[in-house]
Chain A
Amino acid sequence: MPLKLKPAHRQELAAALAAATARGEAIAEVDVSALNRVIEHQPSDQTVTVEAGLTLGALQELLARHGQWLPVDPAHATRLTLRELIDANLSGPRRCGHGTIRDHVLGLTVALADGTLARSGGRVVKNVAGYDLAKLFIGAAGSLGVVTEVTFKLKPLPQAEEFLAAPGATLEAAAQLLEAVAGSALTPVVLDLHRLDPATPGVTVVAGFAGAREDVAWETARARALGFTAVGDLGHEPAFWSAPGAAHRLSVLPALVAPALRPLGAATFVARAGNGVIYHRGPAAAPAPPAPGPLAVMRRLKAAFDPAGIFPNPLPPPAPGAPPV
């Protein structure tokens, strides 16, 4: 029977992890939904400290009441806990303007396999005391510990935000438009390229602009002149992620988005053109094995933080016959 945990508070979680490590018992699931308190929100400091079982949607709602937000926008925010957001390092269309959650975490508390609670960073916007351990846990798929508490750096909600689209273009025309944006003075917060219906050959480019009203007016006027003739929105994002079938990820230089899309044929996709990140439902490419040096360090990290292997292991298994770490 694989172990499922639903701790009422983090001390209970820590004790359960220590026990699992002692028995060498793998944990199938940790439900942290009971750890959902807002610990501290200081609007004037633009920081918030919350437990990781809170959903992103609930957090954004609270922050919006103070004219603030956590500048990440992955799909399905209302059912996404902050722990899931951090474990998978999720992002959304506004990544182009605001980066990923790595850029917004100020401090992190993690329940480790040995039953300790380790905190790194802090609650202030600038802090270099100690190693930046949060970076290790963000995107680690829960393989090094269970995130219980996090402090974020916040931003004010923009005064205005507007989306434009250049629909139905060929991939070549879309590529040209993207180059034109890259060469212009525009600073889009969203620059997505998508095809949601395999039956339609065309692709759509969506650009978003946010900030002071005058800035947005200036940018949208320029963007229209470049070819963003239609009103746009971010409807493609939930639509893509709600569609059936596993999505695969490609990451390329921003300038190489169109060439990377070409071999995918009629597959549906959403591409963050400003970041060079493509999510698609075409054939999955065989993952390139990570270089041996970094991989060895990663394996040692995994072994050091989770010696009994109670958490999942996202690292590729060692080649047969390879010496143990």
Chain B
Amino acid sequence: MHPYGAARPILHKKWTAHSGAPRLLGLPGRDGLIELIGRIRRIGKTVPSTKPTLSRYLFACMTNDQPTPLSPAAIAALRELVGAENVIVGGDELLVYECDAYTIEKQLPHAVVLPKNTAEVAAVVRLCAKWGVPFIPRGAGTSLSGTVLAVTGGVMIALTRMNRVLEVDYRNRRALVEAGCVNAWITQAVKGRGLYYAPDPSSQSACTIGGNVATNSGGPHTLKYGVTTNHVLGFEFVLPDGEVCWLGTRPDGGEEVDGYDLRGVVIGSEGMFGIVTRVLVQLTRAPQSFKTMMGVFESVDAASQTVSDIIAAGIVPGAMEMMDQLITQAVEAAYHFGFPLDAGAVLIIELDGLAAGLERQADRVQEICRQNGAREVRLARTEAERLELWKCRKRAFGAIGRLSPNFLTQDGVVPRSQLPAIMRYIRACSERHGLRIPNVFHAGDGNIHPLILYDEREPDQVRRALLAGHEILEQCIALGGSASGEHGIGVEKIDFMARQFSPDDLAAMRTVRRVFDPAQRCNPHKMFPGSKRCADFAPRKQAAA
């Protein structure tokens, strides 16, 4: 049985609500390419911004990787496997899956499958292998880099129905959970036993542990405790041919595993090596005590210097998070915590550990803040106050809605000592492009999150927002940093890979990709700059960006 329908559509175009860019549901083969390019030219005349999506489609088309609808027989086969209620092929329900939290590009998968167990995941993956159809693992869809985008359609396999905490081993401080389990649920499940799961992305009340593994997520507290790879011992994994295996430490096994660290290389591979179905995490002992402070500074520079000075003093806070004036004002308007509205920057510094030594360290931190001209250093007096402060920080992105209809979150990293330099650059960038760019970020790690505000109804604003984002990330790389600290490359930052890595570096990465997924059907068209052919279209994209 061939999974694709007999009748091949030529070219459907439909306008996406937000931009007017065409969504192509089916592309002609190479034969139709000339015709297609003609159409694109015509579209280009009527549509002000040729979206990156467009060039991605051309690329997909040229590499003969064409989005073609699944045949009714294929859909029936999927329904039979997992139950009709767990297969979505159309309507509003499918629209949920057209993008992740990176909403600038959208594309519908041909089908979304919601399996209930590993056997179903493996069976769906095997069918996709048989049909030669791309498949895309998906968690909660909170990715900020378009890494869940179904670039050429295909079958999206969403793990959200597999969301249980299966076992907790308190003595050995381990928990076994299903991949769709929400990050925060793990900590909730072991609360009261003095344990928690350390990596705490700001999206932790929604994002899944499988998504965390795929993106090697971090969070405010990764400054002291490390990122996902430092806390995930092993996982059950479905390879792109449908074989189920266990990588890394087994639930009943020791830390050391013979052979290559496949666990380690799958973590952060952005769902391109296979599907994680169960995860064994290491739990961390909850700190005995916290000292959480809020330092109020005249300028971002002064707050950045404070961060460097605290590190230089040999103090390792649990977290050091910065909010600049724009974001502080938005957060204050939304949550009324009592943030000063006229301060250049607010620094949240959390010390944790044994109560014995914290007092003196907290004194030292306050002293450093004052040396850098802090006008006020406020200590959270109660646990409730501390949690309130964190709630404001973690919901900061949400407060942006008050400032602007749309925002683009960037995720660059610079060496800590370059924080003042990059913040100055962002300010200049904001002025140059006439866009507001508030900042709320993991200062202790040098991981910036400029939020570029724009209105998607204004094509020129979209263009300027993309351009500003581009320039900021380029500057991060120029300062010795990286284009992504935690959100991943996805489709969004593909262009930066060739800037940050040499062709040889990229070739080695691709070698590993092909080892796991020789047909490159698992979450295709992500991370890597296209082949030579695609490069022909890059200038078009650049112009659009």
Contact = CB atoms under 8 A, between A and B. Distances in A.
Contacts of B256: 249, 251, 277
Contact of A124 (B356, B481, B501, B506): B481
A44 B420 CA distance: 14
A185 to B, nearest CB: 6
B361 interface: yes
Contacts of A130: 489, 497, 500-501, 505-506, 509, 527
A187 B508 contact: no
B514 A276 contact: no
Given A129-B496, A130-B500, A293-B243, A102 B254 contact: no
Contacts, number: 235
A47 B314 CA distance: 13
Contacts of A58: none
Contact of A211 (B172, B247, B252, B354): B354
A213 B269 CA distance: 41
B499 to A, nearest CB: 10
B356 A301 contact: no
Contacts of A122: 413, 481-482, 500
B244 A293 contact: yes
Nearest to B287: A187
B343 to A, nearest CB: 25
Contact of A119 (B239, B311, B505): B505
A119 B263 CA distance: 19
B48 interface: no
A133 B264 CA distance: 8
Interface string B224-243: 00110110000000010001
Given A217-B356, A304-B514, A128 B487 contact: yes
Contacts of B260: 136, 139-140, 144, 298, 301
Interface in B245-297: 245-247, 252-265, 267-269, 285, 288
Contacts of B244: 293
Contacts of A275: 254-255
A128 B507 contact: no
Contact of A215 (B265, B357, B497, B505): B357
Nearest to A131: B509
Interface in A131-150: 131-136, 138-140, 144
A240 B354 CA distance: 33
A290 B511 contact: no
A259 to B, nearest CB: 13
A219 B259 CA distance: 37
Interface in A33-72: 42-47, 67
A23 interface: no
Contacts of A249: 256
Given A131-B269, A212-B356, A187 B285 contact: yes
A262 interface: no
A247 interface: no
Contact of B255 (A67, A123, A251, A290): A251
Nearest to A68: B314
A117 B502 CA distance: 9
Given A42-B417, A136-B264, A212-B360, A295 B259 contact: yes
A243 interface: no
A293 B247 CA distance: 9
A297 B239 contact: yes
A227 interface: no
Contact of B354 (A157, A218, A287): A218
Nearest to B481: A124
Given A123-B415, A249-B256, A315-B259, A132 B508 contact: no
Contacts of B314: 67, 156-157, 159
Contacts of B361: 212
Interface string A195-208: 00000000000000
B265 A211 contact: no
A118 B504 contact: yes
Contacts of A128: 215-216, 268, 482, 484-489
A8 interface: no
A3 to B, nearest CB: 23
Contact of B262 (A42, A182, A297): A297
Nearest to A287: B258
Nearest to A185: B288
A126 B447 contact: yes
Nearest to A145: B508
B123 to A, nearest CB: 16
A251 B416 CA distance: 38
| B256, B416, B447, most chain A CB atoms within 10 A | B256
Contact of B512 (A131, A156, A187): A131
Nearest to A213: B357
B254 A250 contact: yes
Contact of B480 (A123, A185, A211, A214): A123
A127 interface: yes
A294 B259 contact: yes
B459 interface: no
Interface in A242-301: 249-255, 275-277, 287, 290-291, 293-295, 297-298, 300-301
A201 to B, nearest CB: 26
B171 interface: yes
Given A45-B417, A129-B493, A120 B508 contact: yes
Interface in A106-122: 110, 112, 116-120, 122
A137 to B, nearest CB: 9
A140 B259 CA distance: 7
A241 interface: no
B269 to A, nearest CB: 5
Contacts of A255: 171-172
A151 to B, nearest CB: 11
B516 interface: yes
B171 A118 contact: no
A103 interface: yes
B509 A187 contact: no
28 contacts: A44-B312, A44-B417, A45-B417, A45-B446, A120-B501, A120-B505, A124-B480, A125-B413, A125-B445, A126-B413, A128-B268, A129-B496, A129-B497, A129-B500, A129-B501, A132-B268, A138-B261, A156-B314, A211-B353, A212-B357, A214-B354, A218-B354, A251-B254, A255-B172, A287-B258, A294-B262, A304-B511, A305-B511
The 10 closest A-B pairs by CB, nearest first: A135-B264, A251-B254, A212-B357, A293-B245, A156-B314, A251-B256, A118-B508, A116-B504, A214-B356, A218-B356
